[in-house]
Amino acid sequence: MSAEAGANKVAEALHELNVQTIVQIPKLGPFDFSITNAVLYMWISALLVFIFYLVIAKRLKKEPSGLQTIGESLLNFSTGHLTGQFGEKGKKYYYIILTIFTYIFTMNVIGLIPKPEILKPYTPTANINVTFGMAIVVFLITQFQGFKRHKLGYIRSWLTPPGVPVALAIPLHLIFFVVHLMGELFKPLSLAIRLFGNTIAGHLVILVMIGLVLQYQNFLIAVPPLLFVIIMTGFEIFVAFLQAYIFALLSVIYIESAIYAGH
């Protein structure tokens, strides 16, 4: 019975990783437009990011303080470090990359904040559908830039490099094309799985430890896992930043490769 009760406590803690329907909407064929807790926390995160930058934009001063200082630091971080290699051709994507970084970081942090069950707590980035959706946006921007700037020359950049003898280049064209095509298709997949995997792994460890704390409601037994949860939560805040940074940086690399394809 004790083992079963322990398993139940851990299962209760892991319930936070479950997608729960809040508003049921009839399906349209295979598409389900119901509003879930994943959607809700995505909306909340988007709203917070929007309000954050809106307030900064409305209160711009020559001598920044408070939120404006944070906003300008984020902008300098984005334009200088994240997107510095874009150059003039990719300048209009500075703010998209900054938004992606801020949005992912916000979702990650919101997922770490303890919430009562009535609020149906959830971390959107612990859902592969969410991370894959964002990765697809980056993929579409990348391909759009490639074809817009280079037309069919973008496909030419996927083939054998210039200078290879014709007799050798012809059979190699197909190999290079298939390899490059697979690479392009795996880019959004790698983006999505990396963010999803790192987010859910940290949350799994924390939630299992919380389940153990709830099970062994004894001070001496509960202290080690509780200390571990506190330390792990602090580490996860760093991971939240790191994963947002990696996703944004790789997005820059992919978009840049399309902008300067063939160079």
Question: In the chain, which residues have pLDDT < 70?
Answer: 1-15, 83-90, 164, 166, 216-222, 262-263
Helix (H, G, I), strand (E, B) or coil at 21: strand
Beta strands in 56-184 (DSSP E): none
- Residue 8: predicted pLDDT: 64
Enclosing domain of residue 241: 2-259
- Residue 208: predicted pLDDT: 77
* Residues near 255 by beta carbon (within 8 Å), at least 6 away in sequence: 86, 90, 93, 138, 141, 142, 145
Write down the pTM of the prediction.
0.84
- Residue 1: predicted pLDDT: 42
> Can you read off the two tokens belonging to residue 61?
């001063």
- Residue 134: predicted pLDDT: 93
3-state per-residue secondary structure call for 215-230? HCCCHHHHHHHHHHHH
- The total number of structural domains in the chain stands at 1
Sort 210 into a burial class: Cβ within 10 Å, 0-12 / 13-18 / 19+. Answer: buried
- Residue 25: predicted pLDDT: 86
